[in-house]
Amino acid sequence: MYFRLASRFLFETDKRLLAKAAWTLGVKGLWSVHKHKRRLKRGEFFPPFLYLSVINSCNLRCQGCWVDVAAKQHRIELDAANETIRQAKAMGNSFFGILGGEPFMHKDLLKIFEQNRDVYFQVFTNGHFITDEVAAELKRFGNVTPLISVEGSEIISDERRGRAGVLNQTMEGLKTALKHNLLVGVCTSVCKSNIDDLVNDAWVNRLIEMGVMYCWYHIYRPVGPESNAQLALTSDQQRRVRQFVVDTRATKPIIVIDAYHDDAGNALCPAATGFTHHVGPWGDIEPCPVIQLATESIHDDRPLAETFNESAFLKDFRSLTAEHTRGCVIMERPDLLVELAEKHGARDTTARGAVIEELKNVTPRRSQFQPGDEIPERSFVYRWAKKYAFNDFGTYARHFDATKYRDPDKDAPDSERSKSELPVLQ
């Protein structure tokens, strides 16, 4: 499998793009994690990976989206984006996740990529705006990987994404990106209506045949104004996805990303560990994209290094969350976020201005934290990479207090509770 994966990278990709990714994402990315660890030892803080939602607008209306896509357009303008990237680079960062809305609706998105060619961007997109011209530009810059979201079969995609023909257009964008030999990933927010179609070998084999180099499975999080809780996975289904990810990593020549487990399969939250934080379209600095609360902004006068290091809100978020769960706080303990917002006077960063109400309406449910059912990595490459570069950096040893953990499954109605329909594999 490792040989097949290596030969795919060697023979199916553009060598210049591969070298660029290996240097800016691989070598410099590892260096940024190393610097992060050294900062933590000195009692300082700056997240090594930043996510920037550069625009709120989108051409789709997906079920469960938490972004105000239909509100008046707001963007992180070119100068502000460049300045944020410049300041993060000064801290050693070399990788940025770009989200929206739909990022390609930002009029200066390509300029952001072009003017920051010494760092690497992963752009989360529905693929609809990846034309030949756009793909050719991305290839010329060499520092962008499109991560194209596919949310199910044609019928499910159209239903989940609020319009007819969505999947076709997405697949067109994917093919165009591949035709230009870009390093392309496909991501899915796994929910009840797409788990059977997309969490299986046939789908991954198809991606490999098409030339996709990596895939990313998120778990659908029922948050936001129309949370669609009926789509959320049960605990058994979440363990099934985790097992599939671990098995695929060990057997298929494609990279599989998930951001919620360490090498031993212990759950973690990348925002609670401080691995990443997020900047919204209005410039607000938030714990992560779905937690739309902030006390600071990139537009504040003080430097970003100072803001991240001194933010009492973000610091409290990390410790309070880690104290109560290794999972996703917005799914398991939305009440803690309400408490935190009140304590710090955090502002609602949405246009709809109803975040606190929405949090109060979330029914707690289990997330990636499945105590006692940890599924360790089978692949030695992922084990090594996670040991060094993706783990909790001591967060839970410092903060987690098992007596404060509340198991949402214990309080859930029978219909929601985890049922042992699947064996837990080792």
Write out the residues near ligand SF4 by the rule CB under 6 A.
Answer: 221, 269-272, 288, 290-291, 328-330
- Which is nearer to ligand SF4, 270 or 408 (by Cβ)? 270
- Which is nearer to ligand SF4, 67 or 166 (by Cβ)? 67
Exposed/middle/buried for 424, CB within 10 Å: 0-12, 13-18, 19+?
A: middle
**Beta strands of 159-258 (E only): which ranges?**
185-190, 214-219, 255-257
- Which is nearer to ligand SF4, 290 or 412 (by Cβ)? 290
Min separation Cβ 243 and ligand SF4, Å = 19
Min separation Cβ 151 and ligand SF4, Å = 17
Distance of CA 55 to the CA centre of its chain: 16
Closest residue by Cα to residue 51 from 3, 99, 114: 99
- Which is nearer to ligand SF4, 108 or 374 (by Cβ)? 374
Helix or strand or coil: residue 261? strand
Q: What's the DSSP call for residue 233?
A: P
- Which is nearer to ligand SF4, 211 or 270 (by Cβ)? 270
- Which is nearer to ligand SF4, 76 or 271 (by Cβ)? 271
Measured CA to CA in angstroms, residue 287 lies from 77, 161, 175, 271, 272 at distances of 21, 26, 34, 6, 8
- Which is nearer to ligand SF4, 48 or 270 (by Cβ)? 270
Q: What are phi and psi of 50, to 5 degrees?
A: -115, 140
Show the tokens assigned to 143: 């520092």
What is the C-alpha to C-alpha distance for residues 263 and 248, in angstroms, rounded to an integer? 15
The residues with which 257 forms a beta bridge, in sequence order, are 216
Closest residue by Cα to residue 88 from 298, 300, 312: 298
The CB density around residue 345, as the number of other CB atoms within 10 Å, is 8
Min separation Cβ 223 and ligand SF4, Å = 8
Min separation Cβ 366 and ligand SF4, Å = 12
- Which is nearer to ligand SF4, 183 or 268 (by Cβ)? 268
Residues near 371 by beta carbon (within 8 Å), at least 6 away in sequence = 405, 407
Min separation Cβ 291 and ligand SF4, Å = 6
Min separation Cβ 346 and ligand SF4, Å = 15
Min separation Cβ 81 and ligand SF4, Å = 22
Min separation Cβ 110 and ligand SF4, Å = 28
Min separation Cβ 314 and ligand SF4, Å = 12
What is the C-alpha to C-alpha distance for residues 152 and 192, in angstroms, rounded to an integer? 10
Show the tokens assigned to 322: 């880690």
- Which is nearer to ligand SF4, 69 or 272 (by Cβ)? 272
68 close to 56: Cβ distance less than 8 angstroms: yes
